[in-house]
Structure 1
C-alpha cells in the first residue's frame, strides 16, 4: 500500500468510524424489494426477488417467508426475514451475513441451512443494505443486531436458549458483540476477524483507532462456540479464526477446512457434517 493511499484510507487524525466503513462495508445493489400489502389498518410486506438475485422462489418457498421492518435504537428501519421451514424446529438461527450480500442473495442459503439443520432462520440486512435505511457503520451494525434480536424474541417468542447466533465474515462482528452480552443456545463463527486493523495491516497489535475489536469480546462469551475457517482464506487469514478459537472459553472442536478460501466453505461436505453434529449433540440441553 502506498503512503498516499494509506493516509487517504485512514484520514488524519484516524477516525474509527470512517476506517470501518472503508474496509468492511460494500453494500450491493438491492436484489429484492418489500411489496406493501394493506391488511385492515396494518401493512404487511411480500418479499420480491429482482433479477439481481441468484434464484427465484417457488410458491411453497414464499409461504415459508415472513418479512417486515423493525426500528433500531439509531433511528433506522431494519429489513428482517423469518424463514419458517420447520414446524417442529427446536432452534432458530439468527444469521448475520457477509459484507457484499443482502437478504435476496442469501435467501437460498437460508433455505439450505433450515433444511439441513432442521432449524428456522431469522436474518436481517444491516443499515444501508437491501431496503434497510441508514448507512452502514460499526455503531449501526451493533444496534442492527440488537434490533433483530429484540424482534426475534418479542415477535416470535423464542427463548435465548433456543437461539443459535451465526455470523459469517463481517457478520461475526455483531454476532460476537451480542454473544458477549447474552447467553444463547450456541454460536457459530465462520471466517471470523479479530479486528479491522488486524485484517488490513496483518498485525496482532491493538491500535487506538482500531475497529471491530472482536478479539477483546470473545472471552466474555459463555455459550458453546463453533469456529469455522478455511486454511487458504485470502480475505481474512486463517490465523484470525485460530486466535478467536483460542480466546473462546467454551469453544467446541473447531472446523478447519483444508484448502478452503473465504467464499467456498459451504461447498465442502465436512462443513455440513460439522454443523449437524454441533446442533444435534453439542448445544445446551
Structure 2
C-alpha cells in the first residue's frame, strides 16, 4: 500500500515535455556543446553533469561579466532547457546575474527517470558544478525554485547555511497538498516544503498569482508566513500559474530584491559546512510505517516582513550562526569544495539590459509554459 501510494504521488509530479524541445549538438570546430533550435549565445556554456544517482543531466550556465551574484534556477514541471533557454538569457541580463539552469533526470536530454530523490541529486550536481567549475561561493548564490522546482530548491537551501537568498515562484506546500487540503504531513508525500521552509536561514522572496488554478495562492502565502527571513512578497492580482512573467511587476520586484540582497554584507563562512551528498531528503520518515505526523500548517507565523518600504534593508541577524541539522545524517558536514577557483574569463559581453520587459513577455507567450498543471488533472483522472 505504502509503495503504491508513494509511486502514485511521484507520477502526479513529473510530466517532462515529450518529445523534448531540443537536442544537444557539438560544434565541430570548438567541441562545445550547444542546444539546438535556439539562437546561440557565446556567453552560454552547455554542460553534462553526472549525479550521485547515476544520471547524466544537461545544464546551461549564462555568464554575465558584471554580475556579483549567481542564480541557480530549478524550472517547473512541463518545461525543459530548450523552452527556458531564452528566458534564462533575458533574466541574466535584466537582473544582472549569472544564471545556471538544469534539466531534471528524464527531462530534455538528461538521462534517467524523474523522481523526488533524483531532483535532489540533480540540483546537488548543478550546485557542485557552480562551486568547482565556476568558483561560485555559497554566499553569492541565490536559489530560484519555480512550482515543482521549489522542492529541490528548498531541499538544497536547508543545507546551505551561508546561502545568499531564495526565490520561490508559485511554490507548493507539498505534492499531496496540491491535490488535497490535508492538514498533516504523511510519510508518502513528496516535496514537504511546508516542513522545510522554517529551516531556511537566508532571506526568502515568494511570488504567487492570486488566481492560480493549479497551485492555490494559499500555498505561497503560507510558505511566506513560515519564513524566518521574510522579504516583501509579490502577490500578482489575477495572475495564474503560467503567466506571472508577463506582469511588469514581476521583473521590477525581482530587480528590487536583487538590489537589496547585493547591499547586504556577504555572509561569513561558518565552521560547519553543508552536507549536500545525502541519499535521502532530510525529513523522510520510516518508509515502512504509514503513520502521519503533525504538520506545520498551523505553526506560529514568522517574523514580520522587513521589505515593505522601498529603502528598507534585509535583516541579517543570526546569519553568522550555522543552523543545527534536524537529522542525524547531517551531523557530519561535508568539507567545502571552495578552492578559490576563479570563474572562467569570458571574452563575450552580455547583451545590454533593455528599457522594457516586453521581449521577455513575448518569449513566455511563445513557449506557452505551464508547469504543474498535471498535478490536479492527473488526480482527477485517477
The answer to whether the superposition gives a TM-score over 0.5 is yes
**TM-score of the pair, normalised by structure 1:** 0.88
Determine the C-alpha separation between the residues in 1 that align with 2:235 and 2:65.
Answer: 32
* 1:113 and 2:91 aligned: yes
- Write the deviation string for residues 8-51 of structure 1: whole angstroms up to 9, x where unpaired: xxxx34546413321111010211111235689xx6412222xx
Pairing 1:1-285 to 2, within 5 Å after superposition? 12-15=1-4, 17-28=6-17, 29-37=19-27, 44-49=32-37, 56-57=38-39, 61-84=40-63, 86-182=64-160, 183-283=162-262, 284-285=264-265
Calculate the aligned-residue CA RMSD, in Å: 1.6
- Write the deviation string for residues 52-111 of structure 1: whole angstroms up to 9, x where unpaired: xxxx31xxx421211111110101101010112x21111111000000000000111111
Determine the C-alpha separation between the residues in 2 that align with 1:44 and 1:108.
Answer: 19
Q: Decide whether the 8 Å contact of 1:173 with 1:212 is kept in 2.
A: yes
Determine the C-alpha separation between the residues in 2 that align with 1:17 and 1:77.
Answer: 24
Determine the C-alpha separation between the residues in 2 that align with 1:217 and 1:39.
Answer: 47
Q: Which runs of 5 or more structure 2 residues have no equivalent in the other structure? A: 266-382
Whichever structure has more strand as a proportion of its residues is: 1
Question: Higher relative contact order by CA 8 Å / sep ≥ 6: 1 or 2?
Answer: 2
Structure 1 residues 108 and 268, CA gap change in structure 2 (3 angstroms): same
Determine the C-alpha separation between the residues in 1 that align with 2:96 and 2:207.
Answer: 20
Determine the C-alpha separation between the residues in 2 that align with 1:253 and 1:96.
Answer: 22
Q: Decide whether the 8 Å contact of 1:31 with 1:105 is kept in 2.
A: yes
Q: Decide whether the 8 Å contact of 2:164 with 2:261 is kept in 1.
A: no
* Comparing 208-217 and 257-266, the one that deviates more: 208-217
- Between the two proteins, the alignment pairs up a number of residues equal to 262
Determine the C-alpha separation between the residues in 2 that align with 1:21 and 1:44.
Answer: 35
- Write the deviation string for residues 117-150 of structure 1: whole angstroms up to 9, x where unpaired: 1111101100000110000001101011001100
Q: Decide whether the 8 Å contact of 1:198 with 1:205 is kept in 2.
A: no
Aligned to 1:5: none
Determine the C-alpha separation between the residues in 2 that align with 1:65 and 1:134.
Answer: 24
**Greater C-alpha Rg:** 2
Determine the C-alpha separation between the residues in 1 that align with 2:179 and 2:145.
Answer: 20
Q: Which runs of 5 or more structure 1 residues have no equivalent in the other structure? A: 1-11, 50-55
Runs of 4+ in 1 over 2 A off after TM superposition: 12-17, 36-40, 202-205, 282-285
Q: Decide whether the 8 Å contact of 2:2 with 2:188 is kept in 1.
A: no
